[in-house]
Structure 1
Amino acid sequence: MNVSRAATSEDLLQTARCEDLLYEQIRQVSVLGEFERRIIDSLKGSGANLLEGARGVGKSMLLRMAEIELDTEFTAERKLGVYVNFKTSTLLEGVKADQRDAFQIWVNIKLLEALHEKLLALNLIAKSGSDDPYYRVFGIKSVRETKAQLEDKIHLLQKLAFRKTDQTAIIDQIGKDFLAKAQDTTFLTNVIKEVTELFSIKKVVFFFDEAAHTFIPAQQTIFFEIFTK
């Protein structure tokens, strides 16, 4: 006879990486001391913060906890926390998409995808598609179709890494107009600004995970240049 039971904190710590845990599971396994409290407050605050440390010391957990707290405080504070994990970036090393850097496009789409998911998670956009700021960008009224399209674009970009020749079909599926927009940092910034204005958001805080551990030096240069323009 199989006996089911709720996962204990020890079970969760042994079987899953932080980014795979649900909000309630993260709360269940998190123990915050004064040091961790200061880090989370800094992550939620103004300016850019770089969280350093070896693998497994709890960086992702602190990022997720900061995101959870911003979600909890959102109605009152209007600060939006968006967690983005970049763990599959190495697939795009040196890959081009119609003569454009596939990695930069992938980063921008990942940001748009994570932001859209957070708007949906906080019920800022209805599942019917009403008030979806991405409708103007993609022309898709369905929120679920928008989510599916972003996921599909990411998947197609990653496929380019395995198709060294005859990439035309994949490029056509992604769309040259989409590639041009997605590479444009100004376009990305304008979408984020539109979101903040539409939903009266005072600040968007992005929590980037795995950016230092998984990006090769060339990717790190591209990544940090995006956010210093």
Structure 2
Amino acid sequence: MGLTTVSVEMAGPLVVEAFARFTPFDSLIAYAAVERYRARHEDCKIEDIRKVVDDLPFRKIPINKGTDYLYASSVAKFSEEIPLQGKYYDGFRRIYKANTVAKMQEYWSKDLILEGVKECLNQARGRFKPSIVSLPVMLVPEIKWVFDGDGEAVEDLFSDITHLGKKTAIGYGRIKGFDFSDAEGVPIERPLPKQEYDVKPPFVFLRLKPAYWLKTGRYLAGMGTL
């Protein structure tokens, strides 16, 4: 175990989404570890996935009187952010927010069906009206993270990742190269529980370990350093 800095050079535009900035580096490694495990085990179960996530090669920091933990890994640091602009481009990519089937079923009612059209959703108004979301597209020369853990094991898992950020399926966030180096004395900045650490506002309820999108195991947290 030891402090390591990850430096990633980007090959093109990156879609920077605000909330993703508060997601630590271990989220990427958890994704890579789970995908690698699933590729090698066709019959994997949720218990297997949980074990993979609980055994990531980072130092564990006990929280909540030792009943829970978080990984010693930082959020992303951007060397520079240059809005992607041009004659025919305003620096934003406009996309439509998708409505899931589960959300549709939750609010299903006959008023949402257009008269005269069989089983057709009325998307002109209400909950099913498509909302246009603007995502900022930036030119980011370099992204850095700091973590405490097994550098070789983390580098091996990170080598499976080819893109970062959102809209990677259409080419955004492609990684050109990366480097792992020693980082003695460099603080690890990440969300930490307010009840146990001296943290800065804003304070929000967050899950502090992968999978970060789960609604369970959340704490009132703010940005702080380990």
TM-score of the two chains, using structure 1 as the length reference: 0.23
More helix by share: 1
For CA contacts below 8 A with separation 6 or more, give which structure has more relative contact order: 2
TM-score of the two chains, using structure 2 as the length reference: 0.24
Higher-Rg structure is 2
More strand by share: 2
